[in-house]
Structure 1
Amino acid sequence: MSHPSIPPATAQILRLSPQDLTPFFADRPCAKALERLEILAAWMAGINTQNHDGVTLTPALVEHLSSGDIHARIADLDQRRRATTVGQFDPDDLLQRELEYRRYASEAKRQPTWPQDEVEQRRAFDALAILPPQQEEDCRLTDQDCLEVQRAAWEARGLLDFLRHFRAHTQRPIVVVGNERYGRLFVVEPLEPHLAGDFAVRYERTPSHLSMRLTVPHYTERFQRNGFAPEFMRHLSAHMPHVVLVDVCSPRGTERYTKVPRGIRDLVNWFMVFNHLRAQGDRSQYQDQSGLPHHLLNELEKWYEFVVVRRRIGPWIEPGPTYAISHWAPELKEEVLMGDLAVPRRPAVPGDEPQVILANPALYRTEGADLPEFMRRTQPYYFNDPEKRIREEIVPGFGPHGFETRVRGCTTDQYVAAVQRTMGQALQRREFS
């Protein structure tokens, strides 16, 4: 059946197929049908202001809304929605169930293991059952997990020993920055009790994905806010502490190089902006201590992200001394690989000249007479992407508040917490403090 032209704005709000529109035009003049659709669209525009909450006009709801007094029918649905909100959902009420479909479909987009096809989503929604009360579950590490914890604690202890040695030979304050996720979760956070008092600790999220050699972290970027917050930038300018950037990356290529994650490399680029401002554009004051090729610095200064960040942070950075870039690892190779850029190593040497130290505490071998025996039975970088080892199951269904979910199994967060807790116990037991 053909229908008269519906205003585009109305059609966009309702998102009804020609088949779904047919009941609205049955047994009533076109003008009245269009008026009814306009009233319905106004209601939909008012309630569909959030992705997760709102209403999708399913066939059952279309049937309900296409007959009778439209205002009364809408009021009836509003009453059902309010009842669900306050915990009075009736799973046997077809309309009340249908009003929950949008919530299910919206959440399905966030859950990769749920159906993504619309037909499959509808079939899964129709099969949803009443959920039991949430059950609590503990998280227990496997024997291999516990063995890998010993390795992670051993590596973290190596960083702690380096930091304490450095602390003993400088008067300058030291800020230890754990980068999300590995550097934070499996190195710096477990060390916090041992760092308290002698070191300031910060956490940043500067990811390596979508990064390239000229990337400069931009804190106010809309879709991926990363890098240092303005208050820390001002602190750096005022106090120039040593900064130790801590993170770990994959074992690939470590036979020849000491590797630094690309996210940390991006922070080095940020410090080149900082140095540029401190030196008032005189690159000769810092280029030899930058750890970067001179030609790359020349190219970097012309890259748009460098310019954007320079303009943004310029008012906060006062002229003064600049940072030197140095490296630390338990086995520092002759060259350091930052993404696809290999540079000569610049070992971190304790002193009072301000340094940014790129620290990767991972040891990428499992053999050697100098290693504890248990290391032979471990895997470097084991805890990276912990959700690949433990991930909870999100179970959809119905409860007193309509569409609800339950968590089944140990969660990734619990797993990380258990690893951190066991690392802390290992650090204490081995008298690392």
Structure 2
Amino acid sequence: MVRKMHPTLLPPILFRLVALLAIVPFVNTDTSHILRRSLYPSRLRHLRFQQRDVIPDLLEGWTAVGCYTDNVAARTLTFVGYTDTKNMTVDNCVNFCNTQNFVYAGVEYGQECYCGNVISNGGTTALDSDCSFPCNGNANETCGAGGRLNLYWSGAVPPAAPVIAPNNGLWISLGCYNDSPATRTLTVPTAVLGGASNNSVQSCTDTYFSSGYPLAGVEYSRECYCGTAIANDGAPTPPGDCPMVCSGNSSEFCGGPNRLNVYNYTGTDLPPITAPPVEGGGGGSPVFPVLSDLQVGWSYNACWVDNAHGRVFQTEFPDNQMLTVQGCAALCSSKNFSLAGLEYSVQCFCGDNLVQGSVKVPDNECDMGCSGNATEACGGRDRLSVYTSTGSVTTFPIPTVQTIDLPGNWHYSRCLAEPGAIRIFP
């Protein structure tokens, strides 16, 4: 017969272990969703012991591939899905990527979802222990880490990867070029036949051939520009700088943020130069903010600057080709956010405040109609139509490094770049 030993008779080391195990179950694990990025590494040393290994209930056919490396400058999955600062789970990300017809889904940093059809930019397997961040929507699931993502696969053979179209008839590719909203490389914007959702190399070059321009460029998936010469110090950049597929043809690239795929007409039969069609969003019918028929308690606030120093909302949802003000406000309300922001006709953002020092601008700078209702203002280029459920908007300045009033003998040293595969502080 085995006798039970009273705790007070245990050896001191075992007694401490028993006491520690008695305390652990009472540790609150429901705080992962509010961890700031700068606090993640140190807090995760504790959270790792609190997590349970839960196998997510995935869509039929989807399986876990493992932990993979990632890089902010060169993503392993090149389609940026969305960020959800409150409700990210593996299942939510996999479902989103599946509806977008991607075969890979990846969760990263506890709150980020990425999709793709190819493992790109040298992404490779990492130790499973490297993927250590809990998903903020389910702390029992793992959602990658900094520079690490948990990868999932649908089991389907991916389609052919998009390419830079080498030509469209006599229009020959000159490659990827830099661009800027303030000083355009190709100075004449236009609207392609069928609108921004039909943009492709062919639709853009066809439009400018009829207007007599020898240079055409596609940008940011949905934009089309032309000119008679490369202007404003426009210059070639690496092909990887133009990673966005065309809104009207997913098999080819149409530039990227502030990047153009440029084409030159090499024939001799261009007609005389005439004005091209008016560019959509800013040159067409006037648009207005919505002042009625909103969610109960919601109201229009103002037009705000976005992306001058980074995104001013913390949560972005996938582009919506049928976006309306009412739909975006309803989505943000359902996620318990107090602010909704609409940008570039198809983008919906949610949050509880505006960061990165955003400022108000006149309402007429939010001049792009919503993709789902062309009479409603849905922001503009780097402009947000903002709606609130509280009647006000709280803003925060551009973050700065704290160098004074530090505790004890601590002082600020410097900012260090961390290699993609090796931690400075393990």
Q: Same fold (TM over 0.5)?
A: no
Instruction: Give the structure with the higher percent helix.
Output: 1
Which is higher, the Rg of structure 1 or of structure 2? Answer: 1
TM-score, normalised relative to structure 2: 0.24
Q: Higher RCO, 1 or 2 (CA under 8 Å, sep at least 6)? A: 1
Instruction: Give the structure with the higher percent strand.
Output: 2
TM-score, normalised relative to structure 1: 0.23
